[in-house]
Amino acid sequence: MSGNKQQSVLSVDLGGTKTIVAVVLPTGKIISRRYYLTLADEGTRAVLNRLSSAINQSIAQARLKNTELIGIGIAAAGILDTRKGIVATSPNLPGWHNVQLRDVIAARSGLATYLINDASAAALGEHRFGAGRGFDNLLYLTVSTGIGGGIIINGELYSGADGCAGELGHITIEADGPQCHCGNFGCLEAMASGWAISTEAVTRINQGESSSIIELVDSRLENITAETVAAAARGGDQLACDIVTKAANYLGIGLANLVNIFNPELIVIGGGLSKMGNMLLRPARKVIEERAFRLPAQSVRIVRAQLGSNAGIIGAAAYVYDYRVKTGAKV
Ligand SMILES: [Zn+2]
């Protein structure tokens, strides 16, 4: 096992609610995994301290020496300058502005540390070890409360000039649409995410439309989620079906744009809303066929992600391995 240990990466998925810390082999196999609550409200310093000690504990529990790890890969949500290792802003981490996450963790751990956007990490993870195996040109979209993305071109993660490429949830698809979390209006995230679906349901019920959604949440409209709307739609509720179809159409418009730009072989859809399956994907596929050029629209396949909540940690590890290979650094 010592041979394996020398090839390990300590992988982190720093989420707004929980943080996963894992030890991952080059094969994508997770040899240890634990999680704890991020408690982002306690501020930057507290989150960094908790992360440092969780990393140290994970290394100790896996009985690894620092020399047996080739580095730490941290996946985090937000606009990151991956070249400088800085979190510029993050929707999940209030108060984080230009935090030098990479250098802080590197200094405290004594290990080479790398930072990657969480959806980009998931894209890389699915490409290497999940639904995207064997496909060199693919897009990954995570559709949950928000919408994130990652781009794989010619078998490599495309990261752009500053390392923040792949914000596929923030392409504008409705010029006069509602305001998005990012400040722009009518983003794909504002029209087709779980947040968009639940907001639309609350608005329309408050406007007097009847729906079985109301009973599903015992009239507590603040408890409506995309899952509630999906459940009502499965039961044939008209309002819920309308809302899901509308979101699926917008998702299709976003995907049609991406199909014309990237001509991907595969689009991998992850995140909580991917569980809706064909309820969401069938109308979206139809819109792609209607709007995108025929050749790329016919060749693209749309599939569900396979790695679930492990995509981020597996992809962050793959990112570290890739980086070591690219730079020729000794393992
Ligand atoms: Zn946006």
pLDDT tens-place string over residues 140-194? 999 999 999 999 999 999 999 988 999 999 999 999 999 999 999 999 999 999 9
Pairing of strands 266-270, 113-117: unpaired
Q: How far apart are CA 214 and CA 195, in angstroms?
A: 17
Residue-wise pLDDT for 230-287, tens only, equals 999 999 999 999 999 999 999 999 999 999 999 999 999 999 999 999 999 999 999 9
pLDDT value, residue 2: 44
Rounded to the nearest whole angstrom, what is the distance from the C-alpha of residue 274 to the centroid of ligand 1? 20
Alpha helices (runs of H) in 62-193, residue ranges in sequence order: 101-109, 118-129, 188-192
Query: If we measure between CA atoms, which residue out of 95, 73, 97 comes closest to residue 13?
Result: 73
> If you measure from the C-alpha of residue 184 to the centroid of ligand 1, how many angstroms do you get, rounded to a whole number?
5
Distance from C-alpha of 106 to C-alpha of 116, rounded to nearest angstrom: 14
Distance 191 CA to ligand 1 centre (A): 10
Q: What is the mean pLDDT of residues 278-304?
A: 97
Distance from the CA of 169 to the center of ligand 1, in angstroms?
6
Based on DSSP, count helices (H) and strands (E) in the chain, helices before strands.
Answer: 12, 13
Q: What is the pLDDT of residues 51-69, one digit of tens each?
A: 999 999 999 988 888 888 9
Tell me the CA–centroid distance for residue 187 and ligand 1, in Å.
5
Contact 223, 279 (CB under 8 A): no
For residues 208-238, b (16+ Cβ closer than 10 Å) or e, as one string? eeebbbbebbeeebeebbbbbbbebbeeebe
Reference 33, options 320, 331, 309; nearest CA is 309
pLDDT reported for residue 232: 98
Q: The tokens of 17 are what?
A: 């609610």
C-alpha 188 to ligand 1 mean position (Å): 7
Segments of the chain assigned E as strands: 8-14, 18-24, 30-37, 69-76, 79-81, 86-89, 97-99, 113-117, 138-143, 147-153, 156-157, 266-270, 301-304
CA–centroid distance, 168 to ligand 1, in Å, is: 9
Q: How close is the Cα of 176 to the center of ligand 1, in Å?
A: 13
**What separation in Å is there between the alpha carbon of 189 and the centre of ligand 1?**
6
Distance 146 CA to ligand 1 centre (A): 9
CA of 89 to the centre of ligand 1 (A): 13
Cα 197 to Cα 202, 213, 218, 288, 305: the distances in Å are 9, 12, 19, 20, 21
**pLDDT for position 284:** 95
Q: Give residue 170 CA to ligand 1 midpoint distance, Å.
A: 4
- Residues 170 and 181: their CA atoms lie apart, in Å, by 9
CA gap 172, 177 in Å, rounded = 9
Average pLDDT, the chain: 94
pLDDT tens digits along 13-64: 999 899 999 999 999 999 999 999 999 999 999 999 999 999 999 999 888 8
Give pTM, 2 decimals: 0.93
Confidence class of residue 292 from pLDDT cuts 50, 70 and 90? very high
Ligand 1 center–CA 49 separation, angstroms: 30
Q: What band does 326 get if pLDDT is binned at 50, 70 and 90? A: confident
Distance 327 CA to ligand 1 centre (A): 34
Please check the confidence at residue 1 and state whether its pLDDT lies above 60. Answer: no
Mean per-residue pLDDT, 205-226: 97
Distance in Å, CA 76 to ligand 1 centroid? 17
53 CA → ligand 1 middle, Å: 34
For residue 7, what pLDDT band results from cuts at 50, 70 and 90? confident
Q: How far is the CA of 183 from the centre of ligand 1 (A)?
A: 6
Whole-number Å distance, alpha carbon 173 to ligand 1 midpoint, is 10
In this structure, what token pair is assigned to residue 11? 């992988």
Least confident piece of the model among 151-155, 200-204, 279-283, 326-330: 326-330
Q: Which two tokens stand for residue 156?
A: 């490599």
Q: How far is the CA of 143 from the centre of ligand 1 (A)?
A: 13
For the purposes of burial, counting CB atoms within 10 Å of the CB of 32, is it exposed (0-12), middle (13-18) or buried (19 or more)?
A: middle
Digit-coded pLDDT (tens) for 101-153: 999 999 999 999 999 999 999 999 999 999 999 999 999 999 999 999 999 99
pLDDT band of 331, cuts 50, 70, 90: very low
What is the C-alpha to C-alpha distance for residues 124 and 319, in angstroms, rounded to an integer?
Answer: 7
Distance in Å, CA 54 to ligand 1 centroid = 32
Alpha carbon separation from 230 to 49, 162, 200, 256 (Å, rounded): 39, 37, 13, 23
Question: If you measure from the C-alpha of residue 135 to the centroid of ligand 1, how many angstroms do you get, rounded to a whole number?
Answer: 28
In 3D space, the residue among 164, 157, 154 whose CA is nearest the CA of residue 140 turns out to be 157
Report the C-alpha gap between 300 and 141 in whole angstroms. Answer: 14
Q: How many CA atoms lie within 13 A of 181 on its CB side?
A: 21
